[in-house]
Structures are given as structure tokens and as C-alpha cells.
Structure 1
Amino acid sequence: MRKIAVLTSGGDAPGMNAAVRAVVRTGIYHGLEVFGIPRGYQGLLNGTLTPMSLGSVADIIQRGGTILYTARCEEFKSEQGQQRGLEVLRENGIEGLVVIGGDGSFRGAERLAKLGMPTIGVPATIDNDIACCDLTIGFDTAVQTAIEAIDKIRDTATSHDRTFVVEVMGRHAGDIALHVGLAGGAESILIPEVPFNLETVIHKLERGVARGKKHSIIVVAEGAGRGMEIGKYLQEHTGLDVRVTVLGHIQRGGPPTARDRVLASQLGAFAVELLLAGEGGKMAGRQDGRLCAVDFETVFHTPRKPDGYLFDLADKLSI
């Protein structure tokens, strides 16, 4: 193997730059030519491959976002788009591809692998919704960003005797809400994987008021419900002063935590080593603290569930 390429795709996640850096420098360390593909699969279809050097990834390990940029590409979901992507890679002499992203990005990588291009996926998404790996790149940073915001919100909630509903990201996975809710001492945590009843939330609020509690925090994942709607319902049915904060895309930005930088460096380097070992069609992940390579098919068909113990613990501690 002499030439490999790397792209970032889907939603950006803090730590993607650290992963790109690891791919480029590990490849060069092993004598490979490494090319970056700006703007994900759209850039691939456009044929915009850029030679990467040691200097091109200097001073990026601490930066959020991705220097390769990212985009969503409907065209690549078609067989014609996938075939065109393969042709571009082969025309440029690329013999292996590293795809840094989430589930949708991995499905594109799997299609290229089935067409004959060795591909390795590196899990990078703040939602932590990829199966067969302990953590995805960006999750730890997103949780840290959200908990810092909730700590500040609690200060003003205490000052004004208010109840705050805080909406965090997580369309199909509630890991961010679960972790920040537990770490932030939330009274209720609403996630898409666990059915809930707002009457139960109201009961908790009323129970708190009865024992003299002056403020409360409710954390909701966006996939479980809209914060504004939930806040309006709670105010109408409790008479409490309820305010809503939607954290939104702030959770995707900012410098990655040390944990995310280490994880990204490990997985980026491991992805290149897998390509050099002749592997393809797999995700480079970490399970039970150890690096592992898992077939995309296994990743796609393995159910991803929230940590039931953490959910129960948060409920117990919120009495």
C-alpha cells in the first residue's frame, strides 16, 4: 500500500482534527502518501483530493470542528454516486480510505468496501450512538460543554426559585442527556430510548416543593421531546416559574477534552495500521478499554442501548 486518503463526514465532533492528525502522521511514519478529501463524500465526488504533509496537520489537535470540513451528500447514497466515488479514488491511486464520522458515514464506507476499496471507519459523533465501542470521539467534550452550561443555569435557578428545562442534543440516543443529567443533579432526565410520562415529572416537582425545594433542573434529549413544549406544559400544570434553555450546536464546538484527543489519536493511528494489515470494511473502535476492529455489518446490527444502571441511579439520587 502506497496511497491512502482520509475524510470527515456527517456532523462535526470535537476531536475530529486529532483523528485526522493521527491518520496523516501515522501514514507518513509508515512511508505512505496521505491525501485529505475536503467536505466528505461530496468532496470525493468532486474529485478534490489534497496531499497532506506533517505540517498540514500541525497545531490542530486542540481545535474543534474539522480542517477537512464536512458535508452531507445525497448523491453518494445512490449506486451511481458510490461507483463514481470508487472511480475517483482509483483514478488517484488511492488504495485505502479512512472515514471519520457516524452511522451514515459508516454506511457510505461499507458500500465502498463492498465495491472493492478497503475502508476503515473511525467513530466520531457527539451522540455516542455507535454500537460496539465504549465511546465515540466528541462525546466527552459535548458532555463537558453541557454540564458547564447546566452548572451556570443552576446558579440562576437557585437565585430566582425557578425550574429550568434544558434541551440537549441527541435525536436517537440519550447518552448526553443521561450523563449531564446525572452529573448535574437533574430531577428528571428524558431520553428517546425510555418512555416517559410528564405526570411523573410533575409528581417529582411537587414532591420537591413539598419538602421545601426552591428550584429544579429537567434535562431532555431533543429526540425525546421539544424543550419549549415540555416547559410550557409543566408551567401550565404546576404553576411553577419554568424557563427553557436549548443548548443546541454549542455542544459540537470548542476544544476537545484530553480524553477525546487521546481517543481520537488512538483510533486514527489504529485505522491506518488496520489498512496496512490488509483489513477493510471495519470500524476501528475501543471496547472494554482495548482497541478492536469490528465489521460494519456487526456494528449496524448490534442494538445500542443507554446505560440502564446510570438511568436508575439518576432516578434514585433525584428523590
Structure 2
Amino acid sequence: MQDIQRIGVFTSGGDAPGMNACLRAIVRTALTNGLEVTGIRRGYEGMIEGDLVEMERRSVSNIVQLGGTILKSARSEAFMSEEGRQQAAEHLRENGVDALVAVGGDGTFRGASKLKEEHGFAVVGCPGTIDNDLYGTDQTIGYDTALNTAIENIDRIRDTADAHNRLFLVEVMGRDAGFIALNCGIGGGAELILIPETITEMDVVKERILSLMSAQRRSTIVVVAEGDDLGGAQGIERALRDDPEFSDIELRSAILGHTQRGGAPTAGDRVLASRLGVASVEALLDGHSDVMVGLVNEEVKLTPLPNVYGRRKSIDYDLLKLTQILS
């Protein structure tokens, strides 16, 4: 077991509501166990540039309710090279960092594994991404908040859609995974849900929309993940506007975009982030490395990082069948 005196903590990749709650838990758990803590600003980019700061209990006071991340986040092309990682490792050693807790997603964990493999740092990952697509945990930090933000917006759009009997195409985040689209579509009462995990045929989409709009003469909400193979909401809108059969249908598209990333985290995300933050430090103290802490059936589980970024979590296809029944 590696003797750990100081841990470094950082957030990387896309920000997610609840990251600050996770940082708070990591810092205070480490300090409670007699460890010192270094915060690394701007993820791997800050690691390369030596943008490091000492963290104490008051460093994370009054942040549990904040969205975003107080340590900031950034993408780093330089870290993809051996030279960049060497420079990052040198800055960590100069500051006495023995181990790392990385809060982020797939790319963050790949980088952490590289630091362990090439430079011997003990590393543990906390799953922070709104996409909820990481294998090894039932839910990722930020997902619950993003989901509730999307549903709140769909409810608002439904009001105006009903007022005008309009068709709304609502695009939510999910470049490679349809967790947000699937669950906010069900929760928001969408008549049609389109996700990257399924093949979307435009003719089928058109037929379904015409059936809903013409036969029932009512508003229709279609939720589409940004990574759907028809090009998201705007791609579908273009195709519909070019079809004469839709000339009499009032059509609008709404892209929720980064509204899903921001805002105060829900209670669920705050509790999840706190549990995983504590578990990450405890995993390091127990001698574990190159693992992600996750919550599976309400129990903390450790998954090797290569198993996390080497595979994707599958959606619940029973929920997909449910949408066909409910619409």
C-alpha cells in the first residue's frame, strides 16, 4: 500500500451539477483522516501549467448548493502527449502530491489511468457527468439535476404547444447516450422519443407525427437527443419543413443545450456526490487505485477504470417500450 500524505483533487471535462458537493466531501474527508489536500484548477490543463492551490476546510465552505465547479474545468490537448503528462507529473511531485481523485467522465478517467500507468500515482475516479453513461454506477453526479431541468423546460414548452396546437421538437443533451432523452421524455409525457441507441427512420417519424397531429388535433412533443442519427432537432425540423404534408402543421424546435449543465444541484445529486466523494478518499486509504467509486443498488462499488472507459452503460430498453404504450 502506498503511503499517502497529500492528495490532489480536480474536476475535468464537462461540468456537472454536484461537482462542488463532491469536492467538499473529498477535501473534508481527507483532512479528517490527517491528509493534506491540493486543489488543481482547470483539470489537466492546470496540472500541466502548475495551477495548484492548498485546500482547507474553509476552502469548500458554502459550496454544496452551487452548480459548476469552484476548481474550474478545461479540455487539454497537451495532456494527450507523453510530454504533457510528464510535465503534469513533475508539477504534482513538486507539490508533494501522492495520489489523485479525479471528478469527471470517460476522458477524465483515461487520463487518470495514464498518470497511474506512466508515473505511479494512485488514482481514484468519481463519476461526474450529466449523461449518466458511465459503467459501474447506477447514476452519475449531475444526471438527476440535468434530468429535472429538462423536464421543467418540457413542461413549460408543453403549455405553449397546447395553446397553439403546435409540434415541438425538444433537443436535450446526449451525444452518445439517450438517458436524459428517454427519462425526461417519459417524465414530460412526450409522444415520441428519439435516442442515439436506436436507428431512427425519418419515414416512421413523419408517419407517427402526422398521426398524432392530424387524427387527434392536439399538440405534440418530440424529445430528441442531440446525438440522434437524424441530426437532432434541427435536422428533423429541416426534413419536416421540406415535406408538403407538414405545410399546415405549426412546427417549432427548442434546443435546451447547456441549461441542463447549470443551476443548483438537486438534493439527490448533493447526497450522491457527498457519498462518492467520501468513498473516493476511503478507497485510496484502503490501498485501491485505478478504480472508480460508484453506487450500485445503493451500495458503494469499485470498478477498475479501464472497465469504465472501455465500455458504455446500456439504456433500459423496457423504458423504450414503455414510451410506445404511454404515447
Is the pair's TM-score, using the shorter chain for normalization, greater than 0.5?
A: yes
Report the counterpart of residue 166 of structure 1 in structure 2.
Answer: 170
* Alignment partner of 1:200 out of 204, 207, 220: 204
Report the counterpart of residue 125 of structure 2 in structure 1.
Answer: 121
Mapped pair 1:258 → 2:248: no
State TM-score, norm by structure 1.
0.97
Mapped pair 1:273 → 2:273: no
Q: Report the secondary structure of 2:294's partner residue.
A: strand
* Alignment partner of 2:76 out of 65, 73, 77: 73
Letter in 2 for 1:118: A
Q: How big is the alpha-carbon RMSD for the aligned residues of Structure 1 and Structure 2?
A: 1.1
User: In structure 1, what is the Cα distance between the partners aligned to 2:295 and 2:38?
Assistant: 25
Q: Report the secondary structure of 1:218's partner residue.
A: strand
User: In structure 2, what is the Cα distance between the partners aligned to 1:314 and 1:106?
Assistant: 33
Report the counterpart of residue 7 of structure 1 in structure 2.
Answer: 10
Mapped pair 1:233 → 2:233: no
Unmatched runs of 5 consecutive residues or more in structure 2: none
Show structure 1 runs of 4+ deviating over 4 A: none
Preserved contact between residue 167 and residue 219 of structure 1 (Cα < 8 Å)? yes
Q: CA deviation at 1:180?
A: 0.7
Preserved contact between residue 171 and residue 232 of structure 2 (Cα < 8 Å)? yes
Cα deviation 1:160-193 (Å, max 9, x = unaligned): 0100001111111111111111111111111111
**Structure 1 pair 236–215 and aligned structure 2 pair: CA distance change class (3 A):** farther
Q: Report the secondary structure of 1:122's partner residue.
A: strand
Structure 1 stretch displaced more, 290-299 or 60-69? 290-299
Mapped pair 1:219 → 2:228: no
Report the counterpart of residue 90 of structure 1 in structure 2.
Answer: 93
Cα deviation 1:202-245 (Å, max 9, x = unaligned): 22222223542311000111111231221232244323111010
User: In structure 1, what is the Cα distance between the partners aligned to 2:311 and 2:176?
Assistant: 15
* Alignment partner of 2:28 out of 14, 25, 32: 25
Q: Give the % identical residues.
A: 49
User: In structure 2, what is the Cα distance between the partners aligned to 1:151 and 1:4?
Assistant: 43
User: In structure 2, what is the Cα distance between the partners aligned to 1:77 and 1:288?
Assistant: 35
Cα deviation 1:224-281 (Å, max 9, x = unaligned): 1231221232244323111010111111000000000001001111000011111111
Preserved contact between residue 187 and residue 204 of structure 1 (Cα < 8 Å)? no
Letter in 1 for 2:10: L
Q: CA deviation at 1:86?
A: 1.6
Cα deviation 1:80-122 (Å, max 9, x = unaligned): 1112222221121111100000100000001011120000010
Mapped pair 1:178 → 2:182: yes
* Alignment partner of 1:110 out of 113, 131, 139: 113
State TM-score, norm by structure 2.
0.95
Report the counterpart of residue 304 of structure 1 in structure 2.
Answer: 313
User: In structure 2, what is the Cα distance between the partners aligned to 1:94 and 1:274?
Assistant: 16
Letter in 2 for 1:309: D
User: In structure 2, what is the Cα distance between the partners aligned to 1:126 and 1:300?
Assistant: 16
Preserved contact between residue 136 and residue 302 of structure 2 (Cα < 8 Å)? no
Mapped pair 1:317 → 2:320: no
User: In structure 1, what is the Cα distance between the partners aligned to 2:8 and 2:213?
Assistant: 58
Preserved contact between residue 24 and residue 60 of structure 2 (Cα < 8 Å)? yes
User: In structure 2, what is the Cα distance between the partners aligned to 1:220 and 1:154?
Assistant: 15
Q: Report the secondary structure of 1:165's partner residue.
A: strand
Preserved contact between residue 13 and residue 137 of structure 1 (Cα < 8 Å)? yes
Preserved contact between residue 168 and residue 220 of structure 1 (Cα < 8 Å)? yes
Preserved contact between residue 7 and residue 98 of structure 2 (Cα < 8 Å)? yes
Preserved contact between residue 41 and residue 73 of structure 1 (Cα < 8 Å)? yes
Preserved contact between residue 36 and residue 68 of structure 1 (Cα < 8 Å)? yes
* Alignment partner of 2:58 out of 55, 59, 76: 55
Q: Report the secondary structure of 1:219's partner residue.
A: strand
